[in-house]
A and B are shown apart, each in its own frame.
Chain A
Amino acid sequence: GQQVMQIPQYQHVQEGEDFTTYCNSSTTLSNIQWYKQRPGGHPVFLIQLVKSGEVKKQKRLTFQFGEAKKNSSLHITATQTTDVGTYFCAGRANFGNEKLTFGTGTRLTIIP
């Protein structure tokens, strides 16, 4: 079945440093979504990417969808303490499957 892996599993950064998490799917995706889950909370939708090579920005967050639509990345510039949480990518396979498969997640902690 479809697998979605993320690296790194954990990332500790000093406040103000940049952060990147990478997402790789075993199958081609029709689209990819990103979610953030704060400690003790539930996943919250951040963004959806649909087109090959698409890049979207939300303030300090930059999302990319790979040309082959099998990988994606999330980059945060100048991290802040409010960025703490686990970031999940989630993808739908490209053959009409409507199941949204979540990645393994990257847990970000910020050192003040």
Chain B
Amino acid sequence: DAGVTQSPTHLIKTRGQQVTLRCSPKSGHDTVSWYQQALGQGPQFIFQYYEEEERQRGNFPDRFSGHQFPNYSSELNVNALLLGDSALYLCASSWGTNEKLFFGSGTQLSVL
């Protein structure tokens, strides 16, 4: 039984570029949440997807957008990258919107 898988594991971009991160939830899970974790900080909630719709959103600008597909996998898109977007991006899946989260290993994004 595969857990939560994220790709790529590492990514280097330059300012102004766009990036797409991908996440496959744990088998049987229907909800995907995305978090941004800066070095030495706690995970910050970006948004949550359930039934292919964005259900909740944290305090992130519109440059951050996402999508959930019929197979429950999800993408996080970030446009017009800033240096401050450098962080570990974590995807977490759950069965339902209020349950415990299972995290993937994350995508380490570096913006130069």
Contacts and interface: CB of A to CB of B under 8 A. Distances in A.
A41 B3 CA distance: 14
B45 A98 contact: no
Given A42-B104, A44-B103, A102-B35, A88 B98 contact: no
Interface stretch (B16-24, B51-59, B62-70, B74-82): B51-59
A88 B45 CA distance: 14
A98 B56 CA distance: 7
A100 B101 contact: yes
Interface in B74-112: 90, 92, 97-98, 100-106
Nearest to A6: B42
Contact of B98 (A1, A92, A103): A92
Interface residues of A, number: 21
B7 interface: no
Contact of B56 (A48, A88, A99): A99
Nearest to B42: A102
A104 interface: yes
A44 B102 CA distance: 7
A105 interface: yes
Contacts of B45: 99-102
Contacts of A104: 41-42
A33 B100 contact: yes
Contact of A88 (B43, B92, B97, B104): B43
Nearest to B57: A99
A66 interface: no
7 contacts: A42-B103, A43-B90, A43-B103, A97-B56, A98-B98, A102-B45, A105-B41
Interface of A: 1, 31, 33, 35, 41-45, 48, 88, 92, 97-105
